[in-house]
Every structure is written in structure tokens, then in C-alpha cells.
Chains A and B, each alone.
Chain A
Amino acid sequence: SAVISQKPSRDICQRGTSLTIQCQVDSQVTMMFWYRQQPGQSLTLIATANQGSEATYESGFVIDKFPISRPNLTFSTLTVSNMSPEDSSIYLCSVVGLADFSYNEQFFGPGTRLTVL
């Protein structure tokens, strides 16, 4: 499976500010996703990061709040904008490998633990 890294691993931010999270993969992948895991909760898909085009957002998530970029097949960023304490979560990227045509096995990065004060 691909080796996935995220930066930063954790951060503490003030409300009203923005944070950009990076996801880097050591090999080219077809699909990249961003998830949120709120304290004590399961994972919720925020959006699919599409290479060279706008991300596809899930219900309840909007581009103005969570702008996403994916300039190539190995890298994506998620920005959490105008943060509030409710945005305190772990943010995870996941990927599906190039050779995976059917089963869409997703592998997760180590996550970014965000605390908003």
C-alpha cells in the first residue's frame, strides 16, 4: 500500500483563522478523499479531491468552508476556513491506488489533530 503523510500532525488554532492541511503520497493514486472524525465519533466524508478540477463535496460541507486542491496524482490540501471550536476534529486523507479498478480499498494517512480555541 502507499505511504501517506500529512502535515501538520496537530495544531492548536484561534477561532476565525484558517489552517491548510497537506496530504502527500509516495506513489500516484487514482482517488484522494478527505474525512473528518470528531471526538468520539466515526469518520465522515468531507469531499473527494479531484485532480485538476473542483472537489466533490458531500452534503453538509461547502467549498467556502473547506477549500480543497489537488494539483497532481500524489498531493492534496484541505483548508479549514474561519475556524470555530466545532471544527476541532481529526482530519484524515485517504487514497485509492492506481491499480485498484474495482474494490476501492482506501488507505488512510496518519491524520491531523486540530483544536480550535
Chain B
Amino acid sequence: QKEVEQNSGPLSVPEGAIASLNCTYSDRGSQSFFWYRQYSGKSPELIMFIYSNGDKEDGRFTAQLNKASQYVSLLIRDSQPSDSATYLCAVLYNQGGKLIFGQGTELSVKP
């Protein structure tokens, strides 16, 4: 059973702080990893993906991947109230496009 685990939260951080979202996965053969943001009542929107060990930065977002530990994280710097949403980690298990999603972490950024 291929699994993707996230802390369900809610995770609450003050405005301007760094929010850290974590995800672990069970299949060592996984190649690509995705972070989606989902506002209440909306569909998921892709924030970024990562496939190499290390860090990948895009604006205020940094994805970190450690394949040896089967761990992927998302850091949000200078968190804003508009970042309040559920963040979904997804793992690609084969090139046929099958994504397995974690249960999501609810983030709340307090002004």
C-alpha cells in the first residue's frame, strides 16, 4: 500500500513567520513530488514540484526533498493571511501520472 502522510494540523503561525509543512512517503521508487494549495471550496492549485534531493526555491516557497529519509517539506517564508489554506503533498508513482495525495495540512496565518 503506497502511502503519503502529512500532519493534518491545523498549523497556526503568526503573520511574517515561517510555516513548515511536512510529508513522508512509503515508496522508495517515487520520483516526483508536488505541493498543492487548496482554498476552502476551491480546487487544488499547483505551487511547485521537486524531483532532486535538496532545496528548490520559488519566491517565498522552498521545497525540500530527502529521498534517503523519504521526506519532503514545504517552507513558506514571510507567511501572509492569504496563505491560509490546506496544503496537499502528492507523490508521483509512475510516469503514467498516478498521483497519491496526503490528507493535507490546514495552515492558518494569524494577522
Contacts and interface: CB of A to CB of B under 8 A. Distances in A.
Interface of A: 1, 31, 33, 41-45, 48, 58, 90, 92, 96, 102-111
Nearest to B36: A108
Nearest to B92: A104
Interface string B33-57: 0101000001111100101000000
Contacts of A106: 34, 46, 90, 97, 99
Interface in B73-99: 88, 90, 92, 95-99
A104 B95 contact: yes
Given A41-B103, A43-B101, A105 B43 contact: no
Nearest to B100: A45
Interface residues of B, number: 23
Interface of B: 32, 34, 36, 42-46, 49, 51, 88, 90, 92, 95-104
A103 B49 contact: yes
Given A102-B95, A109-B43, 18 more contacts: A33-B99, A42-B101, A43-B90, A43-B99, A44-B101, A45-B99, A45-B100, A48-B96, A103-B51, A103-B92, A104-B32, A104-B99, A106-B46, A108-B43, A108-B44, A108-B45, A111-B42, A111-B43
Contacts of A1: 46
Of the candidates A44, A48, A105, A110, the one having the most CB atoms from chain B within 10 angstroms of its own CB is A105
Of the candidates B43, B46, B92, B99, the one having the most CB atoms from chain A within 10 angstroms of its own CB is B43
Contacts of A96: 97
